[in-house]
Amino acid sequence: MLLGLSSGAIDETADLQSVIGNADAGIQAAAELSAFAEAAWRQDESLGGARAALRAAVGDAGLVEAAQTVAVFRSLNIAADSSGIPLDEDWKDAAAGFVGELGLDEFPTAANTPGY
């Protein structure tokens, strides 16, 4: 949801299918960002190349911010799922529009998420 809101705020339109790997997001360095997120998540042999490609696209500071974001969301997901936090009231309606479209309601945690 924040991807859509924040891209709209700077007059860009992010393709939300990129969230599930089905499209290029259509924002600057989207391909390198997605490849880095996937490689960093897997922590496999593809990470070195993905890191180098993203560094070339967004610079050292951008790469550090990207690494921080991936690290933070890995743990945010653990905190959310291990505690079973309810969906935020003000996000329910906004999320409804794209949850089914992206197949997010098929994630196991959809059933474990109070409020959905």
Partner 1 sequence: MPLHVRAPVQDAADAAWAALGQAGAWWTGTERVAIAEAARAAGPRPLWDRAPDIASASRHADGDDLSPFLALLVERVAVGPATLTRDDVQAIAQEIGDAAYAELASIVCQVVTIDQLAAALGHDFRPLPSPQAGEPTQVRPDGMADVGGHIEMTAENFGPNVGRSLSLAGDDHVRWRELVFTMYSGAEFFEMVWDSRALSRPQVELLAARTSALNECFY
Report the alpha-carbon distance of residue 81 to residue 47 in Å, rounded: 26
Q: Identity (one letter) of the amino acid at 52? A: A
**Per CB under 8 A, does 74 bind partner 1?**
yes
**Per CB under 8 A, does 94 bind partner 1?**
no
**Per CB under 8 A, does 93 bind partner 1?**
no
Report the alpha-carbon distance of residue 87 to residue 85 in Å, rounded: 7
Token pair recorded at residue 27 = 């924002």
User: What is the distance between the terminal CA atoms of the chain, rounded to a whole angstrom?
Assistant: 16
Contacting partner 1 within 6-35 (CB under 8 A):
6-10, 12, 14, 18-21, 25, 27-30, 33-34
Minimum distance between the CB of residue 71 and partner 1, rounded to whole angstroms?
A: 4
Minimum distance between the CB of residue 70 and partner 1, rounded to whole angstroms?
A: 5
